[in-house]
């Protein structure tokens, strides 16, 4: 690829992203699938409350990109979801990718103000109106994190097992999942460690999703759910293993130290903390996805950023943790750093 071709590809990427975002926010594929995977323009326009000209342009673009299949033309035209995307784009499925696409639609609006965030060092507030509304966006975010986690838990736990992290835990380990939302990782740990118990600590929206997952399940008596904001109150205490997944990038250095200190207090002697997140190289230029995610934190949070191993080590040591190591070394958010509380 030439330099010009790379510039052309990257500068035009927003077009395809916007098409996919609109598809997800209108839930077009689910509507089509509900109609036996064959729907006319008029039926779809009525179902989603869209203008015929606007929707036709979107549906034709989706067909050109391969997400839909279009048959016939004019008033006889009908649209179907392409076979390879039927499971991913059906919002009725628990592991549907639609919530992630909706979350990225919110990100797309926020990212449009990147230059202002770079200039000021702060996100631009109140400038990216949501199509679905803030409550639906919150649900989409939690569901999106669940959809990602469902695809990652097996390989993450396998990596933890290979690194000896799981073997270091007692069979009856008490797990604290901080910011655990619907509890995807909690469930994976409980399935892997049949004598373990766990507590999910999160904001009310996350705990509401966890209640839906665990209420009446075979794991209900092994999970406690605690509502709270870790930036404002202490964490529940008496745990052997703290799981902090995809949280620290939302925080600044001092906020991370404050959270680490709370985790240190929540752990029993000899307890372990495991942090799943990007771990940047010392030049902060690798992995590439980490640099882009750092920008995502710039446009979306007041102080969030991605961290190097040296920064994480310094902050963990500052509050008393020892034996700090990169247990899972991968160039993604599935890297895991562990630290221990001395006995």
pLDDT band at 15 (very low <50, low <70, confident <90, very high): very high
pLDDT band at 139 (very low <50, low <70, confident <90, very high): confident
Among candidate residues 339, 322, 294, the one with its CA nearest the CA of residue 114: 294
Q: Provide the domain limits for residue 60.
A: 3-91
pLDDT digits (tens, 9 = 90+) for 38-58: 999 999 999 999 999 999 999
Half-sphere exposure of 204 (CA within 13 A, CB side): 1
Q: Phi, psi (5° rounding) for residue 182?
A: -75, -5
Residue-level pLDDT at 141: 83
The alpha carbon dihedral of 179, 180, 185, 191 has a sign of positive
pLDDT band at 199 (very low <50, low <70, confident <90, very high): very high
CATH number of the domain bearing residue 216: 3.40.50.150
Residue-level pLDDT at 3: 97
Whether the per-residue pLDDT at 127 is higher than 70: the answer is no
Residues 179 and 307 in one domain: yes
Residue-level pLDDT at 134: 83
Residue-level pLDDT at 95: 83
Picking from 57, 91, 125, the residue at the C-terminal end of a domain is: 91
Residues 86 and 171 in one domain: no
Question: Listing from the earlier edge strand, what are the strands of the sheet with 68-71?
Answer: 39-40, 78-81, 68-71
Q: Which residues pair with 287 in a beta bridge?
A: none
Instruction: Please say whether the beta carbons of 165 and 325 come within 8 A.
Output: no
Residue-level pLDDT at 270: 96
Instruction: Please say whether the beta carbons of 277 and 246 come within 8 A.
Output: yes
Using a 10 angstrom Cβ sphere, with 0-12 exposed, 13-18 middle and 19 or more buried, the burial of residue 160 is buried
Q: 108 in a domain, yes or no?
A: no
Beta carbons within 8 Å of 198's beta carbon, 6+ residues apart: 174, 175, 176, 177, 183, 186, 189, 190, 222, 223, 224
What's the whole-number mean pLDDT along residues 327-342?
97
The pair of three-digit structure tokens given for residue 295, joined into one six-digit string: 């920008």
**Whole-structure pTM value:** 0.89
Residue-level pLDDT at 268: 97
Residue-level pLDDT at 48: 94
Cα–Cα distance for residue pair 6/47, rounded to 1 Å = 39
Picking from 76, 91, 106, the residue at the C-terminal end of a domain is: 91
Residues 76 and 200 in one domain: no
Q: 113 in a domain, yes or no?
A: no
Residues 183 and 315 in one domain: yes
Whether the per-residue pLDDT at 126 is higher than 80: the answer is no
Instruction: Render the burial of 16-27: b for 16+ CB within 10 Å, e for the rest.
Output: ebebbbbbbbbb
Beta carbons within 8 Å of 266's beta carbon, 6+ residues apart: 176, 234, 235, 236, 237, 238, 239, 242
Residues 175 and 323 in one domain: yes
pLDDT digits (tens, 9 = 90+) for 82-97: 999 999 999 999 889 9
Residues 334 and 203 in one domain: yes
The alpha carbon dihedral of 124, 127, 131, 136 has a sign of positive
CATH number of the domain bearing residue 63: 1.10.10.10
- Number of structural domains found in the chain: 2
Whether the per-residue pLDDT at 278 is higher than 90: the answer is yes
Q: Give me the torsion for CA of 274, 156, 212, 262, rounded to 10°.
A: 10
Residue-level pLDDT at 124: 86
Q: Computed over its alpha carbons, how large is the radius of gyration of the chain? A: 22
Residue-level pLDDT at 128: 63
- Residue labelled with tokens 């892997």: 192
pLDDT digits (tens, 9 = 90+) for 206-235: 999 999 999 999 999 999 999 999 999 999
């Amino acid at each position: 690829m030439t330099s010009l071709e790379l510039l052309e590809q990257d500068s035009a990427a927003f077009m395809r992203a916007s098409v996919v975002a609109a598809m997800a926010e209108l839930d077009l594929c689910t509507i089509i699938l509900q109609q036996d995977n064959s729907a006319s323009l008029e039926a779809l326009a009525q179902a989603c409350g869209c203008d015929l000209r606007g929707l036709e342009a979107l549906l034709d673009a989706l067909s050109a990109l391969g997400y839909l299949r279009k048959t016939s033309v004019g008033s006889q035209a009908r649209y179907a979801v392409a076979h390879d995307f039927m499971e991913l784009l059906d919002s009725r499925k628990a592991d549907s990718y639609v919530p992630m696409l909706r979350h990225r639609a919110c990100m797309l609006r926020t990212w449009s103000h990147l230059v202002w965030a770079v200039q000021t060092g702060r996100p631009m507030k109140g400038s990216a109106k949501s199509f679905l509304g803030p409550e639906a966006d919150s649900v989409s975010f939690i569901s999106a994190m669940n959809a990602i986690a469902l695809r990652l838990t097996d390989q993450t736990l396998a990596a933890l097992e290979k690194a000896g992290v799981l073997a270091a835990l007692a069979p009856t380990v008490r797990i604290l999942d901080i910011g655990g939302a619907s509890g995807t990782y909690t469930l994976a740990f409980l399935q892997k460690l049949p004598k373990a118990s766990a507590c999910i600590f999160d904001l009310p929206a996350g705990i509401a999703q966890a209640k839906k997952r665990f209420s009446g399940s075979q794991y209900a008596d092994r999970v406690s759910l605690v509502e709270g904001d870790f930036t404002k109150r202490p964490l529940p205490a008496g745990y052997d293993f703290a799981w902090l997944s995809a949280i620290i990038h939302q925080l600044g250095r001092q906020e991370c130290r404050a959270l680490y200190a709370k985790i240190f207090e929540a752990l029993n002697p000899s307890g372990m903390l495991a942090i799943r997140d990007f771990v940047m190289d010392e030049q902060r230029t690798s992995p590439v996805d980490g640099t882009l995610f750092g920008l995502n934190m710039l446009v979306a949070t007041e102080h969030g950023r991605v961290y190097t191993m040296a920064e994480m080590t310094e902050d963990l040591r500052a509050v008393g943790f020892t034996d700090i190591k990169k247990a899972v070394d991968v160039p993604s958010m599935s890297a895991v750093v562990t630290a221990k509380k001395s006995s």
